[in-house]
Amino acid sequence: MNVVECDVPSGSLLGREVVEHAYFRDGYRTPLSRIELDVIAIFFGIFAHHPLWMKLLLIVRNKAASLAGLDVPTASEIFHVEMKDRYAVGGKIGVWPIFALSENEIVAGRNNKHMDFRLSVLKVLDGDRPSVVVSTICTVHHWSGKVYLFFVAPFHKYGVRKLMANASMAGRL
């Protein structure tokens, strides 16, 4: 797998202070062979191609989370990823609201009563090897957020790396 763990890039729209105070954070980097892709195409190259087993796990997780009163995507949204002509802050990309958008980065996520999370997809062009970095941060508001992350973090880490590796191997990045 050509995906390596890394720090959340210091220039990310996530913001240094927010990243440093997050309860959970991770970052993964993989080479970008298609440098002509914009950040939206990179986002969909990674997150619009979940294997069936992963979609089913997400649906089960979302069903349990919805019973706890959390805002979650529908099964239809997971199975049928909608691609729009235009994206802007306040809109949605995939199943997540967009919190920040620049030429080289999109930050999406969700706010819930137990925790807030942000997912950043950053196109990095510095140095001699372009790459993409996917970072996640979570800020917990309640002990249930910590419990949730205890169980979900291992699946999240594996899943993000798998999606990035699949996208790279399939030539979508």
What are the sequence ranges of the domains in the chain? Answer: 4-169
- Is residue 15 predicted with pLDDT exceeding 70? yes
Mean pLDDT of 100-108: 97
- Is residue 83 predicted with pLDDT exceeding 90? no
Cβ-Cβ contacts under 8 Å for 164 (sequence gap 6 or more): 3, 28, 30, 46, 132, 134, 173
- More confident: 57 or 139: 139
What pLDDT band is residue 1 in, cutting at 50, 70 and 90?
Answer: low
What's the CATH code, domain 4-169?
3.30.530
Average of per-residue pLDDT values in the chain? 89
pTM above 0.85, yes or no: yes
Q: How many CB atoms lie within 10 A of CB 60?
A: 11
